[in-house]
């Protein structure tokens, strides 16, 4: 009888080794197939608009089973479900549970905002010697595209896929004169979700007449999960050494000021709640910051860490600015989906407010033959 040692040292037959190799190959193919079928785009009815148009809810699922949900009304991000440090998944964005909330006046939860996000002073600007009057919907000013901005329109949708991403390309045509703007503007907003839990947004547009364009997404985040309380303990870093001072109507004064020695200095890490009480005029953060580095290049714009859940969010953008808003007007009512003040925050990448009336700001002017293009990414992760 052979000893146990000699038995173990006996060579494996070539045919058996070949079988092991084949089994390993088939197993790896099975895993690849499993990942492939997990990456998918699903659609389901989501009710109807007030004029009877059918709204569709799209679910983007990556290879890790994490999801982004969007609707074609307003090109709105309804939810983003990502894991915490223990692997528990939850939605980290504020929003409504049905179409009804989005059809009413709401805080732009998750919306694609345009033609011009943020404010334009007194709802007017001059272009090529002609004065244009826009819809006024924020005191004396024009805000987020007016009374019927892009957040209140139905977008056409096309699915986009690659080996590592699933996504949706939303498109619409804004006719000449809509909300007072000149030019027929054709725009697209492409949202893609990859296997690294990165949501990429690419805006593009063209016009047949000179006009102004400034697009953003208005998602509200709470990395502990929606409806989990205030965001005071979220740790925020902004690579932004300057910000835009504003007047009482939230219109920029025209200069760029240093954040040093102010509650707006997030060049090193601070919690959102650490100095928020100092901002009495605005009841919190509602400020446009200048993103350091060259506009037009994708570069870091923000980093957020939630110590409670371990979730993180990294923001990169080609845009010149980023608006930090701490949900100062959320009041807990049904119109706000029950969210209360400071229970979510926004990091809206954008051009500067009132740029059409501020000659020293990066231009938002788009002319025929030019292409408007901006990209922003939100990458979710965890720290242990």
pLDDT along the chain (384 residues), means of 10: 34 44 47 60 98 98 98 98 98 97 96 98 97 97 98 98 97 98 98 98 98 98 97 98 97 98 98 98 97 98 98 98 98 97 98 98 98 98 92
Dihedral (CA of 19, 22, 28, 33) sign = negative
Residue 31 CA neighbour count, 13 Å, CB half? 6
Structural domain includes residue 14: no
CA geometry: angle at 98 spanning 96 and 100, to 5°?
A: 95
Structure tokens at 278: 């100092």
Please name the residues in contact with 319: beta carbons below 8 A apart, sequence gap of 6 or more. 216, 291, 295, 301, 349, 350, 351, 374, 376
The residues facing 161 across adjacent strands are 166
CA distances from 147 to 134, 135, 142, 189 (A): 10, 6, 9, 20
Segment holding 148, helix H or strand E: none
Catalytic residues: 218, 348
Within the chain, how many helices (H) and strands (E) appear? Answer: 3, 27
Rounded to whole angstroms, the Cα distance separating 185 from 188 reads 10
- Classify burial at 276, counting beta carbons within 10 Å of its beta carbon; exposed 0-12, middle 13-18, buried 19 or more: buried
Structural domain includes residue 21: no
Structural domain includes residue 189: yes
pLDDT at position 38: 84
CA distances from 381 to 60, 156, 195 (A): 17, 31, 11
Number of domains within the chain: 1
Q: End-to-end CA distance of the chain: give it in Å, rounded.
A: 54
Structural domain includes residue 17: no
CA distances from 135 to 35, 108, 226, 253 (A): 48, 17, 32, 22
Segment holding 194, helix H or strand E: strand 185-194
Looking at residue 93, the DSSP 8-state letter turns out to be B
- Count CB-CB contacts under 10 A for residue 112: 29
Using DSSP's 3-state secondary structure scheme, residue 258 falls into strand
> Can you give the pTM of this predicted structure?
0.90
pLDDT at position 211: 98
Structural domain includes residue 145: yes
Q: Report the CATH number at residue 250.
A: 2.70.98.10
Residue with tokens 């859940």, as numbered in its chain: 309
CA distances from 193 to 25, 30, 88 (A): 29, 23, 19
Please name the residues in contact with 52: beta carbons below 8 A apart, sequence gap of 6 or more. none
Looking at residue 122, the DSSP 8-state letter turns out to be G
Q: Contact, 115 vs 212, CB < 8 A?
A: yes
Domain residue limits at 95: 40-382
Structural domain includes residue 8: no
pLDDT at position 250: 96
- Helix runs in the chain, H state only: 4-8, 14-38, 99-103
Structural domain includes residue 9: no
Rounded to whole angstroms, the Cα distance separating 146 from 114 reads 9
Q: Contact, 349 vs 319, CB < 8 A?
A: yes
Bridging pattern class, strands 235-237 and 124-127: unpaired
Structural domain includes residue 315: yes
Residue 26 CA neighbour count, 13 Å, CB half? 6
Q: Using alpha carbons only, how large is the chain's radius of gyration in Å?
A: 24
pLDDT at position 17: 44
Rounded to whole angstroms, the Cα distance separating 349 from 352 reads 9
Please name the residues in contact with 280: beta carbons below 8 A apart, sequence gap of 6 or more. none
């Amino acid at each position: 009888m052979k000893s146990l040692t000699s038995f173990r040292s006996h060579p494996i037959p070539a045919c058996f080794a070949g079988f092991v190799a084949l089994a390993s190959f088939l197993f790896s193919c099975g895993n690849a197939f499993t990942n492939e079928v997990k990456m998918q785009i699903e659609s389901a009815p989501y009710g109807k608009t007030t004029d009877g148009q059918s709204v569709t809810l799209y679910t983007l699922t990556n290879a890790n089973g994490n999801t982004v949900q969007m609707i074609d009304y307003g090109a709105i991000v309804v939810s983003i479900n990502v894991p915490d440090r223990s692997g528990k998944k939850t939605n980290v964005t504020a929003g409504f549970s049905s179409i009804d909330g989005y059809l009413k006046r709401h805080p732009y939860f998750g919306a694609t905002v345009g033609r011009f996000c943020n404010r334009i002073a007194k709802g007017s600007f001059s272009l090529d010697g002609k004065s244009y009057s826009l819809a006024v919907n924020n005191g004396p000013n024009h805000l987020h595209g007016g009374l019927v901005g892009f957040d209140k329109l139905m977008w056409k949708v096309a699915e986009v896929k690659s080996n590592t991403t699933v996504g949706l390309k939303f498109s619409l045509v804004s006719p000449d004169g809509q909300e007072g703007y000149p030019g027929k503007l054709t725009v697209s907003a492409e949202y893609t979700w990859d296997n690294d839990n990165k949501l990429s947004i690419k805006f593009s547009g063209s016009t047949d007449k000179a006009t102004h364009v400034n697009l953003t997404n208005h998602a509200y985040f709470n990395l502990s999960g929606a409806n989990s309380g205030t965001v005071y303990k979220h740790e925020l870093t902004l690579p932004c050494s300057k910000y835009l001072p504003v007047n009482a109507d939230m219109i920029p004064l025209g200069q760029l000021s240093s954040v040093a020695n102010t509650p707006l200095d997030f060049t090193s890490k601070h919690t959102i709640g650490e100095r928020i009480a100092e901002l009495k005029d605005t009841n919190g953060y509602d400020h446009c910051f200048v993103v350091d580095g060259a506009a037009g290049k994708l570069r870091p714009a923000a980093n957020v860490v939630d110590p409670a859940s371990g979730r993180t969010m990294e923001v990169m953008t080609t845009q010149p600015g980023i608006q930090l808003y701490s949900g100062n007007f959320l009041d807990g009512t049904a119109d706000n989906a029950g969210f209360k003040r400071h229970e979510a925050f926004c990091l809206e990448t954008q051009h500067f407010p009132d740029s059409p009336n501020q000659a020293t700001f990066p231009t938002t002017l788009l002319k025929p033959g030019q292409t408007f293009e901006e990209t922003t990414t939100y990458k979710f992760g965890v720290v242990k």
